[in-house]
Structure 1
Amino acid sequence: MVGRLRPEKHTFHLRTGKATITLQDVEALFGLQVYGKPLYSQYEPIPGRTWVSELIKLTHFMPGVAIQISGLSRVQIGAFYTYLLADPPIDDDTLQDVVDHHARLYLLSMFRAILFPNTSAAYVCLRYLIFLEHLNFLGD
């Protein structure tokens, strides 16, 4: 499919004709909401904080190593999985805060792998944390 893409027109040239991917196609294929309030990202955390401090605050995960690429902090995704597998499994008696912390780590890994993949396959960018601060607002 990549060979058939014409980026200047955002279309695929197929044997049967031209095809354009629309937002409605994305919504149907991936179940992503295309209507409602837009998401936008600021590239700096709240003044006086760093992305790593935001990660610790929102997930209680202490990264061993965080690297800076283009001014953004990134953490190895394997460290998330090691941390999550070391914790006891979540059950009915697990505190809501612990569930929220784990959910944020899983969502961050999904952002890196599915929604916003990039060439640094081993690292996840921490700027997506701002979208995960208030989990109870995620579907509104």
Structure 2
Amino acid sequence: MVENYLRATRFYHVSKIGVIREFHPMLAALVERWRAETHTFILPIGEVTMTLEDVANIFGLSIDGEPVSGWKDSSNDFVQNQGIAIFGRVPSVSQNAKSYIKLGWVRCIRDAELLDTEESIRRYVRCQIFCLLGSTLFTDKSTAYAHAKYVPLLRDFERIRTYSWGSACLAHLYRALCRALRYDTKEMDGPLNLLFVWAWE
């Protein structure tokens, strides 16, 4: 998972604001051609769509395994307990939504790890994966926070690699594209770098 993270961030991790400004015409064209009923783009050459194989090839993520489902409990106690278990301390959360953990705080925790014990190395890897989830795979309109619902998935260290992260990422993109079709939508979230690399390829 760590190797996949490095691969994904080296080639495809771009700040969301920069991506949207640079590729806004392409994004607008793709959204205009998206059909929610079939989850496909209607292009002059016919219907095309991104598949699980595309996600596996672009991001190197597993498309087989256990389903990824976040916890619905977003209480303050839940976030604090899970944060202590994963990060070793109470997480810094958004003032507006207590279920969102600051990615900058997670990066500081990661960078402060001494990597001198197995637990310290595991905490470092969990922080890396959480940043990947919040900034690349399951992004929302905030670039500074990630939802705490994914934190429990990182608790059992050996089980992290058994989840079908690629399937969840693709489902998140499909959902973001469907939401972007609504007349009142001003911005699009989701793994846009995945969409742009797929379109370019």
Q: Same fold (TM over 0.5)?
A: yes
- The question of 1:81 aligning with 2:103 is answered no
* Counterpart residue type for residue 18 of structure 1: E
| Contact 2:101–2:145 (8 Å) recurs in 1 | yes
Following superposition of structure 1 onto structure 2, how do residues 61-80 of structure 1 map, counting pairs within 5 Å? 61-67=89-95, 69=97, 73-80=99-106
Which residue number corresponds to residue 51 of structure 1? Answer: 79
Deviation at 1:97, TM superposition (A): 0.5
CA separation in 1, counterparts of 2:128 and 2:96? 22
User: 5+ residue gaps in structure 1?
Assistant: none
Of the three residues 123, 133, 142, the one matched with 1:101 is: 123
Distance 1:54 1:120, change over 3 A: same
Which residue number corresponds to residue 118 of structure 1? Answer: 140
TM-score by length of 2: 0.57
| Contact 2:99–2:147 (8 Å) recurs in 1 | yes
| 1:64-118 C-alpha deviation (Å, 9 max, x unpaired) | 444463xx61122112223333x2653xxx1011111121111111101111010
Which residue number corresponds to residue 64 of structure 2? Answer: 35
User: 5+ residue gaps in structure 2?
Assistant: 1-29, 163-201
SS in 2 for 1:41: coil
| Contact 1:52–1:73 (8 Å) recurs in 2 | no
CA separation in 1, counterparts of 2:65 and 2:113? 37
| Contact 1:67–1:73 (8 Å) recurs in 2 | no
Higher fraction of helix: 2
* Counterpart residue type for residue 80 of structure 2: V
Which residue number corresponds to residue 13 of structure 1? Answer: 42
Distance 1:106 1:61, change over 3 A: farther
| CA RMSD across the alignment | 2.6
Higher fraction of strand: 1
SS in 2 for 1:139: helix
SS in 2 for 1:79: helix
Distance 1:21 1:121, change over 3 A: same
| Contact 1:52–1:126 (8 Å) recurs in 2 | no
After superposing the two structures, state which structure 1 stretch, 112-121 or 27-36, moved more: 27-36
